[in-house]
Chain A
Amino acid sequence: MDKTTLDGNAAGGILREVFLFEMTLAEGACAHCGATNAIGATTAYMSGMGTVLRCPSCEHVLIRIVSTKGSYWLDMQGVRALHIKPEL
């Protein structure tokens, strides 16, 4: 069991930096296994190098974010489509 694993909710801050919406309730289907989860329910690895959100079912990478000196790198290949609902 990994002691450092977090929930996608912990990535709420960095996600708000990149997107204009509260993203933890956004839902996406894993491109690998198809499981649909709210971002807040994904498994988050926030190592200090970047934020990696993984599918809680199959562990494949859903979303990766790196924040570097005033710019962001975002990889969302692991998500088929993201359904964002702006109202909390």
Chain B
Amino acid sequence: MERTALPGRLIWQIGEVVATHPETERSKSLTLALPIWPGHLAGQHVDIRLTADDGYQAQRSYSIASPPEDGRQIMLTIERLDDGEVSPYLTDELRIGDKVELRGPIGGYFVWEERLGGPLLLIAGGSGIVPLMAMIRHRRAAGSTIPIRLLASFRTYDDIIYRDELEHLAGDELALEVITTLTRTQPPGWTGYMTRIDAELLRDVAWPIEQHPLTFICGPTQFVETTAANLLALGYEPTRIKTERFGPTGDT
């Protein structure tokens, strides 16, 4: 795959919604076709800007869920925050054929490409799974066998974003393990984890330190900070841990 340099000014462009797909009750994926797209790396995000007819604007960042191999269409997965200004518009109002103003791709720090190696430890809090899913999809599209362990925390079984795809991938792919913890309620017969991600869970699940895993943590700010602190306390190398804090959830 051709390496993409990212020169020059980042421009705002108008993308068109070509598909929408509900993921969970509160989250929806949007596929956008873009006139100018230089390609992206898994982990990058776009900024979306909404403008009302009186000129009022609101802007938010959303991680790209699709892998670089998808070309000039990108997928975003949006979680609707009840109190949010932008997310309810994107999940409830936007229809196929609508236009959205955005710029990207943005971010060079929280990215993974196959050449960076592994093993990968991907830790997701809720909608923090989005950029990590781009990494998993990239690995699959690139035909890579770098081992990945995804540890994802959700409140309930129905909140698991990409649940079917992950179950399918984990069954299919060698060296892709998906471990989910459900922190609020669990379905009958659930044998998985039921606690928040803490030091004990990490000790159980994380790659041994000697394997020098590359770790990406994404989710609400508190979740990310606590998880990173726990990994550091367990002795994982700080330079091999990358974080993407989403800010607060539910009361932005």
Contact flag (A, B; Cβ within 8 A): yes
- Chain A residues with a Cβ closer than 8 Å to the other chain, count: 27
> A22 near B6 (CB under 8 angstroms)?
yes
Size bin of chain B's contact surface: 20 to 34
Which of A16, A40, A41 has the most CB atoms of chain B within a 10 A radius of its CB?
A16
B23 at the interface (CB under 8 A from A): no
> B109 near A1 (CB under 8 angstroms)?
no
Interface string of B198-241 (1 = CB under 8 A from A): 00000000000000000000001110011000000000000000
Q: Is chain B's binding surface mostly helix, strand, loop or mixed? A: loop
> B248 near A3 (CB under 8 angstroms)?
yes
Q: A9-B244, A16-B10, A86-B7 are in contact. Are A1 and B107 (CB under 8 A)?
A: no
> In the assembled complex, how far is the CB of residue B245 from the closest CB belonging to chain A, in whole angstroms?
5
> B106 near A16 (CB under 8 angstroms)?
yes
> A7 near B8 (CB under 8 angstroms)?
no
Interface string of A35-59 (1 = CB under 8 A from B): 0001111000000000000000000
Q: A6-B221, A6-B247 are in contact. Are A13 and B4 (CB under 8 A)?
A: no
Considering only residues 1-17 of chain A, those with a C-beta below 8 Å from chain B are: 1-10, 12-13, 16-17
> A5 near B108 (CB under 8 angstroms)?
no
Q: A13-B61, A16-B9, A88-B4 are in contact. Are A3 and B222 (CB under 8 A)?
A: yes
> In the assembled complex, how far is the CB of residue B8 from the closest CB belonging to chain A, in whole angstroms?
6
By a CB distance below 8 angstroms, the chain B residues around A12 are 45, 106-109
> B245 near A8 (CB under 8 angstroms)?
no
> B248 near A8 (CB under 8 angstroms)?
no
Complex Cα distance, B7 from A88, in Å, reads: 10
By a CB distance below 8 angstroms, the chain B residues around A9 are 45, 107, 109-110, 244
Chain B, Cβ-Cβ closest to A40:
B109
Which one of A7, A13, A22, A23 contacts B245 once the chains associate, using CB atoms below 8 Å?
Answer: A7
> B5 near A88 (CB under 8 angstroms)?
yes
B243 at the interface (CB under 8 A from A): yes
> In the assembled complex, how far is the CB of residue B53 from the closest CB belonging to chain A, in whole angstroms?
20
> B109 near A7 (CB under 8 angstroms)?
yes
Complex Cα distance, B9 from A24, in Å, reads: 15
> A40 near B108 (CB under 8 angstroms)?
yes
Which one of B47, B108, B242, B251 contacts A22 once the chains associate, using CB atoms below 8 Å?
Answer: B108
Chain A, Cβ-Cβ closest to B49:
A13
B122 at the interface (CB under 8 A from A): no
Interface string of B45-86 (1 = CB under 8 A from A): 101000000000000010000000000000000000000000
Complex Cα distance, B45 from A17, in Å, reads: 15
> A3 near B47 (CB under 8 angstroms)?
no
By a CB distance below 8 angstroms, the chain B residues around A4 are 221, 247-248
Complex Cα distance, B242 from A25, in Å, reads: 12
- Please list 13 pairs of residues, one from A and one from B, whose beta carbons are closer than 8 Å in the complex, sorted by A's number: A3-B248, A5-B225, A5-B245, A6-B221, A7-B243, A9-B109, A10-B244, A16-B10, A38-B109, A40-B108, A86-B5, A87-B5, A88-B108
Lowest 3 CB-CB distances: which A-B pairs, in order?
A40-B109, A3-B248, A12-B106
